[in-house]
């Protein structure tokens, strides 16, 4: 049995992953943005530990990390929380997973939600609005978080760190007309978080439906990885 944090688990892929992992007998920590969203967790209430924090607020991310570090250690984190547009794009999609990666003690498996949109991202860091004073680029945010996953794999050899493209699935974010398979959209995250399958013990991969694929060329550019980590460390005051 593993202890797994699934961020952004009040609905969509996060809820599906948390529900499946609980059904498999794992100890799951679910996350909601606020108390109202936590109340929407329904059948997970009483079965999973719940942490609450608005990931647009860096202090809230830090509080969540401190709360989790004061409890039983985590074995894995699925960095699922994400937004499609608006001011929260960089804070939620990049800053929050970066801070949790830097601050959480113990997880040996890290899964970051990427997107096929990351191929349209620009490997440019100058002028990025990290605090979210204005709308950010979703494609850029997914390129950055995919690069973060690869950088962690390189710099933490004892940690399995991977990025997953769940596909364009029919969630609230994806919309009802999304063409991809919702079930396949969360299966890879769960597999990477808990499986002892030799292929699931890969690190530094970019996955789509349990198949390794090639990400944007910048993802494995070590110079770009290092620039990204320096920029995020300076922006947050927290080194990885």
Q: In what order do the strands lie in the sheet with 109-113?
A: 49-52, 27-32, 3-6, 76-79, 109-113, 160-165, 206-208, 211-213
pLDDT at 14 over 90: yes
The residue extents of the domains of the chain are 3-236
pLDDT tens-digit map of 34-72: 999 988 787 787 899 999 999 999 999 999 999 999 999
Cα–Cα distances in Å, from 233 out to 7, 90, 137, 184, 237? 21, 14, 20, 34, 5
In this predicted structure, what is the pLDDT of residue 157?
Answer: 94
Structure tokens at 200: 């699931």
**Residue 172 annotated among the catalytic residues of the structure:** no
In this predicted structure, what is the pLDDT of residue 119?
Answer: 98
pLDDT tens-digit map of 168-181: 655 566 566 655 66
pLDDT tens-digit map of 116-131: 999 999 999 999 999 9
pLDDT tens-digit map of 100-156: 999 999 999 999 999 999 999 999 999 999 999 999 999 999 999 999 999 999 999
Of 142, 144, 206, 208, which residue is the catalytic one? 142
Please, which residues have CB within 8 angstroms of residue 232's CB and are 6 or more apart in sequence? Answer: 94, 95, 98, 130, 148, 240
Mean pLDDT, residues 4-16: 94
Of 98, 138, 206, 208, which residue is the catalytic one? 138
In this predicted structure, what is the pLDDT of residue 200?
Answer: 97
**Residue 138 annotated among the catalytic residues of the structure:** yes
Assigned CATH for 3-236: 3.40.50.720
58-69 vs 96-103: helix crossing angle, rounded to 10:
30
């Amino acid at each position: 049995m593993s202890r797994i944090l699934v961020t952004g688990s009040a609905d969509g892929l996060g809820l599906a992953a948390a529900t499946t992992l609980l059904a498999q007998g794992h100890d799951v920590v679910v996350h909601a943005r606020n108390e109202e969203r936590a109340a929407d967790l329904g059948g997970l209430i009483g079965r999973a530990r719940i942490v609450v924090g608005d990931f647009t607020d860096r202090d809230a991310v830090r509080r969540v990390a401190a709360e989790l570090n004061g409890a039983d250690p985590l074995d894995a984190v699925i960095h699922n929380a994400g937004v499609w547009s608006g001011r929260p794009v960089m804070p939620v999609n990049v800053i929050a997973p970066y801070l949790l990666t830097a601050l959480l003690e113990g997880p040996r498996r890290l899964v970051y939600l990427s997107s096929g949109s990351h191929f349209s991202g620009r490997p440019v860091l100058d002028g990025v609005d990290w605090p979210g004073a204005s709308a950010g680029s979703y494609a850029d945010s997914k390129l950055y978080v995919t690069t973060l996953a690869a950088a962690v794999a390189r710099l933490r050899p004892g940690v399995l760190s991977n990025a997953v493209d769940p596909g364009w699935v029919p969630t609230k974010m994806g919309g009802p007309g999304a063409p991809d398979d919702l079930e396949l959209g969360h299966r890879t995250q769960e597999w990477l978080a808990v499986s002892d399958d030799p292929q699931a013990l890969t690190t530094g991969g970019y996955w789509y439906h349990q198949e390794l694929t090639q990400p944007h060329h910048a993802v494995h550019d070590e110079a770009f990885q290092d620039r990204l980590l320096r920029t995020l460390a300076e922006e947050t005051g927290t080194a990885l």
